[in-house]
Amino acid sequence: MEKQFPTIDKVKTGKQIRHLMDSLGLTVMDVQKYMGLATQQAVYWLNGRSLPSIDNVYALSELFRVPIDKIICGNRGYQPEQRSIYYRLKAYVKYLQLYVEVTYEDVSLFSN
C-alpha cells in the first residue's frame, strides 16, 4: 500500500474557521475588516471553496488567539502534541474554573 502524503481539507478547515469565529462572536464582516479582505474571500474559506494563504492563516491565528494547527484541518494520522504548553494551560484554566465554581457554591451554602 502506497503511503498518502498529508493534505489540507478545505471543507473541514472552513468549518473550523467558522467554529472559531462563532466561539468569539465574530462575523464575516469582522474578519474581513480586521484582515482587509475582498468581500467574498472569507466566505470562500468558510464554504471550503478555497484556503487562506499562509499569511492569512497567520493573521487568523492572531485574531483567534490559537495556534495555526487549531485552524488548519487535514488528513494526517496524528494530532498536535497534547502535552504542549497550550493544552496544559488550557486544562489548568478549566480546572481553575471548576474549582472556583465549586468553592463559590460551597461558600454560598454556608452563608445563610
CA 55/CA 64 separation, integer angstroms: 14
Q: What are the b/e assignments for 36-74, b being 16+ CB within 10 Å?
A: ebeeebbbbbbeeeebbeeebbebbbebbebeeebbbbe
Kindly state the cell numbers that stand for 77. Answer: 494520522
Residue 39: pLDDT band with limits 50, 70, 90: confident
CA 36/CA 1 separation, integer angstroms: 45
pLDDT tens column, 48-99: 999 999 999 999 999 999 999 899 988 766 555 555 666 677 777 877 777 6
